[in-house]
């Protein structure tokens, strides 16, 4: 955590090294680590914002070059382009990804967020900046050339990697490094979509898994700085400009719940579809693996001949669904086709975000639900309102992060009056999706890499408690058992296993611990009259099965025993819990 001083740093032979040293000295000269950290938080927000602006400029330049259109009229450019261009441009994107994959020598796959979570939780906040920059640039180019993935993946990765690099450069401790990574990722998201509140909560809920006030401040500051940069240099309006939808009838709250259930099922299908396709493509032949991006983008190009809405970020289709301009057939067909192509490209190794495709998927499914609802119960809110609810519900269902999903949609559309049904559908969708698919879009990827993210629910709310680790007691003795019997049983016990004394109703009375027995043995002349009740240690207090593992761990800190007895409300001995099991299987 200490600042780096030039005296113990690498010798600076060049001007850039001298500049680096001066900047590091300046940061190091700030009096306390707290002050220095806050400067870094602002710096990370600034870098993430500027990086996002640069990447978005590259995106728009490439779109203009090949499609003669930019992000907001992208579909018009695609629709105007002749058929052969719709096929060849995505093929060029696939060839580019394949070429760079071959040059780098390792796949550039992934949507970035899972890697950021892994870096925060497992790798002490370490991320490779060159790899993130290359991956970000390739991702942006691929999206501009038609990959059905999100642009936000690049912005999150580069923001997070900038935070990590600053932390490594200044040799910060792992705690501050992790927080800077989260700050950078959240700032990247905030600047990508002009969503400072939603991105800050996304960082807390998804990346850090906590709403602790200590984490809240730095994340918010980074997001504010990055959003100010992007608002100043790009645009300052909600990403989707739509009419203000309002509830027209109380029954629409019921419809929102119903939509939440349907979209929750669809969200679990989305997560499983993405993972199943990745698993399938992972099993492809080794010689074929580097060419999968080319093949998948060829499929995208061919599909775009009939369904041009599937190319790229998908902004125009979502906007059309929000405005209620898409027919029911497309509202039903496009989400499934989008899922298939997104899963194929992501699994094949085309880098890009999965956040925007999930908005597409949810927005159009929600729009379809709205059209059907209008046919069954006419006179309600227009289908665009349900498209908005569907976007929020899919975000909550795929990320399992309801709070940030609601705020992200609120900021993306600027539509506050629908917040009540939006909250309902998001929470219901997250619950249904979690029930059907316990892993989120991000933790599913981490599970495949054998990375376990600690649980974020309070310890008193977790399912696993002392009962989950309970082991039965095979040997016990009565208080009146003679010493010979006690010694015979104890010598047969496995190492670390104590003997417990119970009365005739099975109630716990005390523990016989071999090490403690030596000091308590009475005079040798009395050995024949000694019984278990004379030797047992009544200070070994038992635990109850309702305790959380955190509380059990706390009890182990008060004793040197390897095992503790577990009793029920009537002090009947149920079994034992070992310290080793608590440490290896408990999630803290």
Partner 1 sequence: MEHTRMLHGPARAWSIVLMSLLCGVLSAILLHHPPPSVPKPPPRPERPLSSEERRSMYRMWPMFQGWPLPQLPPDTPAPENRTPPPPGPSR
501 DSSP β-pair partners? 477, 510
**Member of 3, 50, 54, 92 binding partner 1 (CB under 8 A):** 92
73 is a site residue for partner 1 (CB under 8 A): yes
Under 8 Å between Cβ of 390 and 185: no
**Member of 241, 305, 457, 529 binding partner 1 (CB under 8 A):** 241
Nearest approach in angstroms of CB 56 to partner 1 is 15
Rounded CA-CA distance 422/407 in Å is 10
147, two tokens:
């990959």
Under 8 Å between Cβ of 499 and 477: yes
323 is a site residue for partner 1 (CB under 8 A): no
Compute the C-alpha angle 171/173/175, nearest 5°: 140
448 CB-contact burial (10 Å; exposed 0-12 / middle 13-18 / buried 19+) = middle
67 is a site residue for partner 1 (CB under 8 A): yes
**Sequence-ordered strand ranges (E) for 129-260:** none
Among residues 185, 191, 123, 182, which one has the least CA distance to residue 158? 185
103 is a site residue for partner 1 (CB under 8 A): yes
**Member of 69, 267, 402, 497 binding partner 1 (CB under 8 A):** 69
Contact track, partner 1, 190-229, x by CB under 8 A: ----------------------------------------
Contacts 24+ apart (CB under 8 A), 583-587: 583/553, 585/464, 585/468, 585/469, 586/464, 586/469, 586/549, 586/550, 586/552, 586/553, 587/452, 587/454, 587/455, 587/462, 587/464, 587/549
325 is a site residue for partner 1 (CB under 8 A): no
**Member of 54, 76, 323, 436 binding partner 1 (CB under 8 A):** 76
28 is a site residue for partner 1 (CB under 8 A): no
**Member of 5, 17, 244, 580 binding partner 1 (CB under 8 A):** 244
2 is a site residue for partner 1 (CB under 8 A): no
User: CB-wise, 158 or 319, nearer to partner 1?
Assistant: 319
**Member of 66, 202, 270, 360 binding partner 1 (CB under 8 A):** 66
**Side-chain half-sphere CA neighbours of 209 within 13 A:** 17
Torsion of CA 181, 184, 189, 193, to 10 degrees: 180
User: CB-wise, 18 or 279, nearer to partner 1?
Assistant: 279
The count of residues interacting with partner 1 (CB under 8 A) is 41
414 is a site residue for partner 1 (CB under 8 A): yes
Rounded CA-CA distance 543/578 in Å is 12
User: CB-wise, 234 or 553, nearer to partner 1?
Assistant: 234
**Member of 11, 13, 105, 519 binding partner 1 (CB under 8 A):** 105
Nearest approach in angstroms of CB 539 to partner 1 is 52
Nearest approach in angstroms of CB 57 to partner 1 is 17
Contact window for partner 1 (CB under 8 A) among 67-75, 357-365, 381-389, 397-405: 67-75
Among residues 466, 467, 443, 445, which one has the least CA distance to residue 455? 443
Nearest approach in angstroms of CB 405 to partner 1 is 20
Site for partner 1 in 248-287 (CB under 8 A): 286-287
99 is a site residue for partner 1 (CB under 8 A): yes
Rounded CA-CA distance 193/196 in Å is 8
Among residues 414, 363, 337, which one has the least CA distance to residue 259? 363
Can you give the binding site for partner 1, defined by CB under 8 A? 65-69, 72-73, 76-77, 80-82, 85, 88-89, 91-92, 95-96, 98-99, 101-103, 105-107, 235, 237-238, 241, 244, 286-287, 289-291, 294, 414, 416-417
């Amino acid at each position: 955590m200490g600042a780096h001083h030039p005296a113990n740093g690498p010798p600076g032979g060049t001007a850039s090294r001298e500049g680096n040293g001066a900047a590091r000295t300046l940061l190091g000269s700030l009096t306390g680590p707290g002050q220095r950290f806050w400067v870094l938080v602002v710096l990370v927000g600034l870098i993430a914002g500027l990086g996002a602006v640069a990447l978005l400029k590259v995106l728009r330049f490439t779109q203009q070059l090949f499609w003669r259109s930019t992000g907001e009229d992208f579909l018009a450019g695609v629709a105007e382009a002749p058929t052969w261009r719709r096929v060849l441009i995505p093929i060029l994107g696939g060839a580019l990804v394949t070429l760079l994959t071959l040059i780098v020598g390792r796949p550039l796959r992934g949507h970035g967020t899972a890697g950021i979570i892994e870096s925060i939780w497992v790798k002490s906040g370490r991320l490779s900046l060159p790899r993130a920059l290359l991956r970000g640039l390739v991702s942006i180019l691929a999206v501009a050339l038609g990959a059905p993935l999100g642009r936000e993946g690049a912005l999150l990765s580069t923001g997070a990697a900038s935070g990590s690099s600053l932390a490594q450069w200044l040799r910060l401790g792992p705690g501050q490094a992790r927080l800077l990574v989260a700050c950078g990722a959240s700032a990247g998201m905030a600047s990508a979509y002009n969503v400072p509140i939603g991105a800050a909560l996304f960082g807390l809920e998804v990346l850090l898994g906590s709403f602790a006030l200590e984490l809240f401040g730095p994340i918010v500051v980074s997001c504010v700085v990055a959003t100010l940069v992007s608002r100043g240099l790009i645009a300052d309006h909600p990403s989707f400009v739509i009419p203000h939808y309002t509830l027209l009838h109380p029954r629409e709250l019921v419809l929102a719940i119903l939509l939440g259930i349907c979209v929750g099922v669809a969200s679990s299908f989305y997560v499983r579809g993405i993972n199943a396709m990745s698993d399938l493509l992972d099993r492809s032949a080794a010689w074929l693996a580097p060419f999968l991006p080319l093949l998948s983008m060829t499929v995208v190009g061919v599909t775009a001949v009939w369904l041009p809405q599937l190319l790229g970020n998908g902004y125009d289709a979502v906007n059309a669904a929000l405005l209620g301009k898409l027919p029911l057939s497309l509202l039903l067909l496009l989400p499934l086709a989008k899922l298939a192509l997104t899963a194929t490209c992501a699994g094949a190794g085309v880098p890009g975000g999965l956040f925007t495709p999930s908005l597409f998927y949810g927005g159009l499914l929600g729009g379809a639900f709205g059209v059907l609802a209008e046919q069954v119960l006419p006179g309600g809110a227009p289908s665009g309102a349900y498209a908005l609810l569907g976007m929020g519900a899919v975000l909550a269902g795929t990320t399992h992060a309801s709070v940030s999903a609601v705020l992200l949609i609120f900021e993306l559309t600027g539509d506050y009056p629908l917040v009540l049904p939006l909250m309902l559908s998001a929470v219901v969708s997250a619950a249904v999706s979690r029930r059907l698919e316990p892993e989120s879009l991000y933790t599913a990827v981490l599970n495949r890499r054998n990375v376990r993210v600690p649980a974020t629910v309070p310890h008193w709310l977790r399912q696993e408690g002392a009962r989950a680790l309970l082991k039965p007691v095979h040997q016990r003795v009565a208080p009146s058992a003679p010493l010979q019997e006690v010694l015979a049983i104890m010598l047969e016990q496995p190492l670390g296993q104590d003997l417990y004394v119970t009365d005739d109703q099975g109630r716990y009375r005390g523990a016989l611990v071999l090490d403690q027995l030596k000091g308590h043995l009475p005079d040798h002349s009395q050995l024949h009259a000694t019984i278990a009740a004379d030797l047992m240690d009544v200070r070994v207090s038992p635990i109850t099965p309702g305790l959380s593992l955190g509380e059990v761990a706390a009890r182990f800190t008060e004793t040197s025993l390897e095992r503790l007895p577990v009793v029920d409300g009537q002090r009947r001995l149920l079994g034992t819990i070992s310290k080793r099991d608590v440490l290896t299987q408990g999630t803290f």
